[in-house]
Structure 1
Amino acid sequence: MLSIPIPGGPQFALAHLVLDYNGTLAEDGLLLAGAAERIAVLAEQLTVHVVTADTFGSAAQQLDGLPVQLQVLPGSGQDVAKRALVQSLGAAQCVAVGNGRNDALMLAEAGLGIAVIQAEGAARAAIDSADILCRSLCDALDLLLRPKRLSATLRNA
């Protein structure tokens, strides 16, 4: 469990990290530099879930050895499936990170939604559904590793 108080705002009690794979955690099917190390540390406090259509067929191999639960989704209805996963975990206890149009519903549903803009860009729907927009996955994960950054961004007092 990761508890993060936000002055004048929500008090996060996070148990799950839900990550989109392609465009968020990986580029062209390959895990981004710095991702594995951050996930390993965060997995000490959060259950890490990776959801993907596995466009490049490399997710399982790239994530091998990491403390994550991988869920490969069918080709259609991915947005609804991602939201359903967040709901089943208890949305208020989830932080979700994504960049695509099919991530918008999970970003909106999660207690904390973080959109990232990287090589693939980010869909307007994902940006509009997120609580925070970051320039990279590592920046997004660092918000959780250094919660005062998150507090400074979301504070309302």
Structure 2
Amino acid sequence: MKKEILEKLKRLKADTQEIYDSLEGIPVEKLGDPSYGWSIIQVLSHLNSAETASLKYMQKKVQAGDKMENYGPVNALRMYLCNGALKSSLKWKAPSYISNPATFEYEEMKSLWAATRNDIEKFVMDYPEQWLNKLVYKHPLGGRQNLDRAVDSFVYDQIHHIHQINRIRKQLGV
């Protein structure tokens, strides 16, 4: 199962590269333009912040070891419904702790996000197999989940924000 999780992370990185490729040639000023709410860079910053906060939570939670609760059908259903909403182009407010994304230079943002992804990959690689069915992650909408569902949430959150990036690009005319 850990191999499948690592494959999802690999795909997530490839999808992130597709985002960067789609932004190639857009002037940096446009990427940082907050005229229509968040700028594109702020959307990327938000994604990084969400993943960073999730990783910190999981790093703390894993200290409970075998005392972590087990993943079950209710958890699976909650995340299934949450992921369905994230795949859509519906809009809603971000949780307060990540609702005001920082503004970075574009290349700095890419470096920060790459470092976060590397930290997540290391966490997954070091994660004990016997805890793969434990509730190590907490999603603001989907509730408590196992490591596999945590990575799924990163995938679906990114998909959700691709809709937002496309909306911003259209508004900016790029």
Please give the range of the TM-score, normalised by the shorter of the 2 chains.
Answer: under 0.3
Q: Where is the helix percentage greater, Structure 1 or Structure 2?
A: 2
TM-score w.r.t. the length of structure 2 is 0.25
TM-score w.r.t. the length of structure 1 is 0.27
Structure label with greater radius of gyration: 2
Q: Where is the strand percentage greater, Structure 1 or Structure 2?
A: 1
